[in-house]
Chains A and B, each alone.
Chain A
Amino acid sequence: MEKKTVLRKPAGFLDVYKHKPGAEKDRTHYCPGCGHGILHKLIAEAMEDLEIIDDTIIISPVGCSVFAYYYFDGGHFQVPHGRAPAVGTAVSRANPDKIVISYQGDGDLAAIGGNNILQAANRGESIAVFFVNNAIYGMTGGQMAPTTLEGQVTTTTPYGRNPATDGLPLRMAEIINQLEAPTFVARVSLHNPANIRKTRAAVRQALQNAKEHKGFQFVEVLSMCPSGWKQTPVNCLKWIEEKMLPIFPLGTLRDRSAEATPVVRPEPVLEPGKVLEKLGLTEDKSRGFARGTVAEEYSEMSIRIAGFGGQGIMSTGQILAQVAMEYGYNVSWLPSYGPEMRGGTANCSVNIQDDTIGGAEAVSPNMVIAMNRPSMEKFEKTMVEGGSLIYNSTLVEISPSRTDIKAFPVPITGLANELGDIRVQSVVGVGAYAAVTGMFRPEDIIEMLPQFFKGKNKSIIDLNASAVRAGYDYVKNNF
């Protein structure tokens, strides 16, 4: 760990900056007096000493360090402004055995990417974040950053940052330290050798933790920007000492390195046999019911089921579709959806036929199951001539107005109440449908009940079986 690497270019840097355009492939693009170069070197040295060069993925942000990938050895992402923690989240989850470094500036991390850094920190993602706070936007030419000091003149605060209109500088290390998940949170500075040594130690602690996959590391680094601040490099050092330190106190805010447990992520299952096994798809559970004789008028069904929310409208439709599928029909189910879904009423469309199903909505149904009066009044009008209307005569006290359709008044709610549970009315409706159309045998529906009521006990299944029979028998006995 404390191997000394001094007075030479650390191996964490590339020998030749091959990605850098132009002739000068042996020096950085940073301005004289800028802090990025110092921090880059501390990171590159630590990568060498911790022997992680071949296992490190570096995420370059938007800002002056957009070109961090020119310099470091390792795998690289250059990412959209502020999004390094989001990208890093996925990179670390895809490469759980690697070290992921997110290198960000203050505009990137604290302004446009403010939510991303908070959420990644809060999830405790395995990322080491190096946050360069130089109180200014460097790359775009010296505009105000979230960390710009009160009164500081920038190109977008020409009269100085005014707290009344621009707010006060954000203290990101303190904010991150409010969260439970992060392992290591520190603020360090690059303005003199003593502080550079402390920065070096913090960088190494963060990367050691990253090497051990101990979650989220956050190192805020106060850094000089002579070009943005329009000051000499020497004055910049003084400015940090005098102006920044009172606002951004240095120190280790949190160090849970010792007690943090490594994040372990198992390998994804991709082998086809295992995928099917884990998803319970190895056996063909289809029943393939044999069809009985179905009258011509019921061979191709376009069904609208409607009622109050809570009457099991959606599940009635789904059960019809499921059972029909087992008889080998093409089926579709479409819930009332979007603008129709108003006023506590619900409806769904079911199509059952041998041909390819066109429009899924039962615009002109040949079967309506109406569980209440408004539904009957609304959808009776839409039916084709000769269609069948099953309506819930317990709740619908009027007769249908149409005389060119077949009406089947069935006291669906009443039958359910007689069985002792109003919730089975949807299944009573299914039984009635089976009797009217001759499309399903009641015993086939009953065979499928455990599938519809997964995890329910036998008494519930039996109750629903009785409900199927009740609806079926009522129609058989009365029409």
Chain B
Amino acid sequence: MARTLMKGNHAAVYGAVMAGCTAYYGYPITPASEIAEGAAEIFPKLNRTFLQAESEIAAINMVYGAAGSGRRVMTASSGPGISLKMEGLSYCAGSALPCVVVDVMRGGPGLGNIGPEQSDYNQVVKGGGHGNYRNLVLAPNSCQEMCDFTMLAFDLADRYRNPVFVLTDGVIGQMMEAVELPKPVTHIPDRSEWAVCGTPLNKNLINSIYLDLDDLERWNMALDAKYRSVKENEVRYEEYLMDDAKIAVVGYGCVSRVLRSTVEMARARGIKVGLFRPITLFPFPEKQIRAFADRGVEKVLTVELSTGQLVDDVNLSLQGTLKSDLYYRVGGNVPSALEILNRISELYGV
């Protein structure tokens, strides 16, 4: 199919459409609003539901209703809106409902600003709402990946019956690139076993309440087993010139693109820097980062648009095996490739 120039936010809408998402429930917020606007334009052409909810809370509960009814469903927002959705997300995970949420991160805390940040990392990657649950989290760094990962998110959501996040930032959401649209799916997994749907009505129960203490403990253990299986099977990452790297830079989303330029500038100066880019943030590529030392990496620099959220996971993965540093910019600022290279030179005397 032809390549089309489009914003990352619009690419996410096409990913959802091609994945057979039949309902979008959302609330406007910069810099994610183009996702709602795109869905508002496209979904009605296919008799699919677009509804501008009265609040972020209503939107995620509509997602809960549609998912429980066996539909592929999506919502999108940014920091403050994602905070509001947390209770509903906990219910989705607690009721084992597949759904997709796109978070186009902006500056925080509080109202912050609409510039790009990555400060929703903890609230999205660690769960965020109450109870023992995790979201699967995919981190695209291009408009093509906004489309492809949104589509993939629906498959993962179905496979694990769990919320899946597409976690990106204002840069990737707002920028335009050529996107090759994928073909629409031909098959959506059957959900009649658990969903409230079908004719005659499938008399299932969508529920997350377990009054009996042992029942709830068993359910938590089942969720835990699910997340272990996710960690075993769904780790995704990308490397650039890591094979002979002495210094590994770690970053995701728009930062990983800048880091690619940093690596090229460093190599031009003869400094052996390689890029390690986690694509899944949960599951986190722990084993791959733990293996850095064995591959000859000597230093690790994590670069993020948050004051030390990603680096916690990098350090947990490294288990103290390597010197690990953090460089961050926040408030809507994105570091330049040269700025990061200068930091590398300062830190490591290269």
Known: A76-B207, A337-B174. Contact between A359 and B65, CB under 8 A?
A: no
Of B49-57, B221-229, B294-302, which binds chain A? B49-57
Please measure, in the bound complex, the distance between the C-alpha atom of A284 and the C-alpha atom of B209, giving whole angstroms: 51
* Residue-wise interface mask of A (311-332) relative to B, using a CB-CB cutoff of 8 A (1 in contact, 0 not): 0000000100110010000111
* Residue-wise interface mask of A (51-95) relative to B, using a CB-CB cutoff of 8 A (1 in contact, 0 not): 000111100000000100100011111111001001111110111
Residue among A281, A356, A359, A361 with most chain B CB within 10 A: A359
Known: A80-B91, A360-B175. Contact between A275 and B46, CB under 8 A?
A: yes
**Contact yes or no, A69 B207, CB < 8 A:** yes
**Contact yes or no, A275 B23, CB < 8 A:** no
Instruction: Decide yes or no whether A119 CB sits under 8 A from chain B.
Output: yes
Of A180-188, A244-252, A265-273, A390-398, which binds chain B? A265-273
Please measure, in the bound complex, the distance between the C-alpha atom of A69 and the C-alpha atom of B68, giving whole angstroms: 15
**Contact yes or no, A66 B201, CB < 8 A:** no
**Contact yes or no, A332 B177, CB < 8 A:** yes
Which residues of A sit under 8 angstroms from B264, Cβ to Cβ? 358
Please measure, in the bound complex, the distance between the C-alpha atom of A276 and the C-alpha atom of B20, giving whole angstroms: 12
Q: Return B71 CB to nearest CB of chain A, in Å.
A: 5
Instruction: Decide yes or no whether A4 CB sits under 8 A from chain B.
Output: no
Instruction: Decide yes or no whether A3 CB sits under 8 A from chain B.
Output: no
**Contact yes or no, A358 B181, CB < 8 A:** no
Please measure, in the bound complex, the distance between the C-alpha atom of A337 and the C-alpha atom of B170, giving whole angstroms: 8
**Contact yes or no, B176 A119, CB < 8 A:** no
Which residues of A sit under 8 angstroms from B332, Cβ to Cβ? 338-339
Known: A73-B203, A325-B5, A333-B175. Contact between A338 and B113, CB under 8 A?
A: yes
Instruction: Decide yes or no whether B215 CB sits under 8 A from chain A.
Output: yes
Which residues of A sit under 8 angstroms from B188, Cβ to Cβ? 270
**Contact yes or no, B203 A74, CB < 8 A:** yes
Of B118-126, B158-166, B252-260, B311-319, which binds chain A? B252-260
**Contact yes or no, B215 A360, CB < 8 A:** no
Please measure, in the bound complex, the distance between the C-alpha atom of A74 and the C-alpha atom of B208, giving whole angstroms: 18
Instruction: Decide yes or no whether B132 CB sits under 8 A from chain A.
Output: no
Q: Could you tell me which residues of chain B, from 100 to 119, have a CB within 8 Å of some CB in chain A?
A: 106-107, 113-116
Instruction: Decide yes or no whether A335 CB sits under 8 A from chain B.
Output: yes
Please measure, in the bound complex, the distance between the C-alpha atom of A318 and the C-alpha atom of B176, giving whole angstroms: 8
**Contact yes or no, B334 A361, CB < 8 A:** yes
Chain B residues with a Cβ closer than 8 Å to the other chain, count: 87
* Residue-wise interface mask of B (190-211) relative to A, using a CB-CB cutoff of 8 A (1 in contact, 0 not): 0000001101111111111101
**Contact yes or no, B22 A270, CB < 8 A:** yes
Instruction: Decide yes or no whether B31 CB sits under 8 A from chain A.
Output: yes
Closest to A341 in B: B114
Closest to B143 in A: A332
Instruction: Decide yes or no whether A454 CB sits under 8 A from chain B.
Output: no
Closest to B259 in A: A358
Known: A332-B177, A357-B257. Contact between A119 and B58, CB under 8 A?
A: yes
* Residue-wise interface mask of B (270-304) relative to A, using a CB-CB cutoff of 8 A (1 in contact, 0 not): 00000000000000000000000000000000000
Q: Could you tell me which residues of chain B, from 51 to 101, have a CB within 8 Å of some CB in chain A?
A: 51, 53-55, 57-59, 61-66, 68-71, 73, 87-88, 91
Instruction: Decide yes or no whether A420 CB sits under 8 A from chain B.
Output: no
Q: Could you tell me which residues of chain B, from 132 to 169, have a CB within 8 Å of some CB in chain A?
A: none
Known: A83-B61, A337-B31, A360-B171. Contact between A74 and B201, CB under 8 A?
A: yes
Please measure, in the bound complex, the distance between the C-alpha atom of A387 and the C-alpha atom of B48, giving whole angstroms: 49
Closest to A280 in B: B45
Please measure, in the bound complex, the distance between the C-alpha atom of A90 and the C-alpha atom of B74, giving whole angstroms: 12
Please measure, in the bound complex, the distance between the C-alpha atom of A373 and the C-alpha atom of B202, giving whole angstroms: 68
Q: Return A321 CB to nearest CB of chain B, in Å.
A: 6
Instruction: Decide yes or no whether B321 CB sits under 8 A from chain A.
Output: no
Please measure, in the bound complex, the distance between the C-alpha atom of A251 and the C-alpha atom of B209, giving whole angstroms: 36
Q: Return B12 CB to nearest CB of chain A, in Å.
A: 15
Which residues of A sit under 8 angstroms from B88, Cβ to Cβ? 80, 83
Q: Return B120 CB to nearest CB of chain A, in Å.
A: 15
Which residues of B sit under 8 angstroms from A281, Cβ to Cβ? 1, 181
Q: Return B168 CB to nearest CB of chain A, in Å.
A: 13
**Contact yes or no, B260 A358, CB < 8 A:** yes
Contact of B116 among A54, A325, A338 (CB under 8 A): A338
Please measure, in the bound complex, the distance between the C-alpha atom of A70 and the C-alpha atom of B334, giving whole angstroms: 54
Contact of A86 among B58, B185, B196 (CB under 8 A): B58
Instruction: Decide yes or no whether B333 CB sits under 8 A from chain A.
Output: yes
Which residues of A sit under 8 angstroms from B310, Cβ to Cβ? none
Contact of A278 among B23, B46, B200 (CB under 8 A): B46
**Contact yes or no, A95 B63, CB < 8 A:** no
Please measure, in the bound complex, the distance between the C-alpha atom of A325 and the C-alpha atom of B178, giving whole angstroms: 7
Which residues of A sit under 8 angstroms from B268, Cβ to Cβ? none
**Contact yes or no, B261 A359, CB < 8 A:** yes
**Contact yes or no, A89 B196, CB < 8 A:** no
**Contact yes or no, A119 B5, CB < 8 A:** no
Instruction: Decide yes or no whether B338 CB sits under 8 A from chain A.
Output: yes
**Contact yes or no, B5 A76, CB < 8 A:** no
Closest to A91 in B: B65
**Contact yes or no, A284 B337, CB < 8 A:** no
**Contact yes or no, A94 B177, CB < 8 A:** no
Instruction: Decide yes or no whether B336 CB sits under 8 A from chain A.
Output: yes
Q: Return A171 CB to nearest CB of chain B, in Å.
A: 21
CB within 8 Å of A: which residues of B? 1-3, 5, 17-18, 20, 22-23, 25, 31, 42, 45-49, 51, 53-55, 57-59, 61-66, 68-71, 73, 87-88, 91, 106-107, 113-116, 170-171, 174-178, 181, 183-186, 188, 196-197, 199-209, 211-212, 215, 254, 257-261, 264, 331-334, 336-338
CB within 8 Å of B: which residues of A? 19, 21, 54-57, 66, 69, 73-80, 83, 86-91, 93-95, 97-98, 115-116, 118-119, 265-270, 272, 275-276, 278-279, 281, 284-286, 318, 321-322, 325, 330-335, 337-339, 356-361, 363-364
Sample of 22 A–B contacts (CB below 8 Å): A54-B203, A76-B205, A83-B88, A87-B61, A94-B69, A95-B197, A116-B55, A268-B46, A270-B188, A272-B184, A275-B18, A278-B45, A322-B5, A330-B178, A332-B175, A332-B176, A337-B115, A338-B332, A356-B260, A357-B177, A359-B258, A361-B171
- Nearest first, the 7 closest Cβ-Cβ pairs linking A and B are A338-B115, A90-B65, A358-B261, A94-B69, A75-B196, A87-B65, A359-B258
